[in-house]
Structure 1
Amino acid sequence: MLCTNSQTAYSPTTCRVCRTLNVHSKSSLPFPGISNYRVLQTQFCTTKQMKTWKSMEVYNFFVCDWVKDIGIKTLPDKYASFLLEQNQLILLDTLDQEVTKFQECNALLDLNSLFTEAKIYHNKLVNIRKEMILLHERTTKLKKRALKLQQQKQKEALEKEHQREKELERERQLTAKPAKRK
């Protein structure tokens, strides 16, 4: 794993990987050098910057002869179909989850409409209760008034009966009585 920049027109001083890892010596790469380069040197950058840096890094690896050949690995058909099937299953599961979420949202909308309908019926019930209370108060007043009128009528009827008895008693007293002989 040594930089072989002598075979290319790429100089060791401009090779970013070689300069960072100090691999221009004939020794092998030390683990801490790779660890420091890959793990400890973190920077925040945008996705575009990262892609650009990665493509430059790959180019540097290739130019420094760390990578001998750039190739594409193809999968056999049965593995490709297996991966396709797995991806389709994942997609179907995701789609099922989305449908479930959509149904839950519709259920929430149905719940909202039920709550608004329940509010309307509650208001109607409150109004009916108020009317029933008013009707109860009116009937109570009417019952009291009817009782008073009944008592008054009974009193008047009693007075009339009493008056008639008095008149009858008076007429009896006024009627001529035969005198008793001794």
Structure 2
Amino acid sequence: MREFRGEHTVVVKLDALEEVLAYCRDALAYDFLLDVSSVDNMGDDPRFEIVYELATTDDHKHLRVKSPVGEGEEVPTSVHLWKTANWHEREVYDMMGLQFKGHPNMKRILMWEGYPYYPLRKEFPLAGKPSEMPDVAFSGVAPLEGGPFVTSPGADRVRGEPRAKGES
């Protein structure tokens, strides 16, 4: 276990990850999964890290569990331990391309199905890559000077709450 500025991190091998996470939940009372994320260490072997942020709800302890993941390796799902892992693991898959073995619904949530890239990988350019977007009515400038946005057919904003002060 490593400690840095009051935060504790445990690094485990991928084949022990599921057992360690279950131990943290059952024996150490880490009953809340805050987040699952990943790190792209392009150029290193193994290339990726999977990171679990755990907490206890009774005494507010925090624990980070990390595991190295090689290109093409599958990470065991933790959905059976924490239901919130469902969304977090799908987000890691969608943005980084890591697969979760045993996940009940491993499909994209932010990018559309068939999108060929993983935007948080280091080789993905900051400017993005051109690709076809299915079922898009139009693209335009986002309100509040937030950049371009995309709408779906039938999603015009006719009535609703104001988006900015003074807008009605």
TM-score w.r.t. structure 1 length? Answer: 0.18
Bigger-Rg structure (1/2):
1
Name which structure has the greater RCO, CA cutoff 8 Å, separation 6+: 1
TM-score w.r.t. structure 2 length? Answer: 0.19
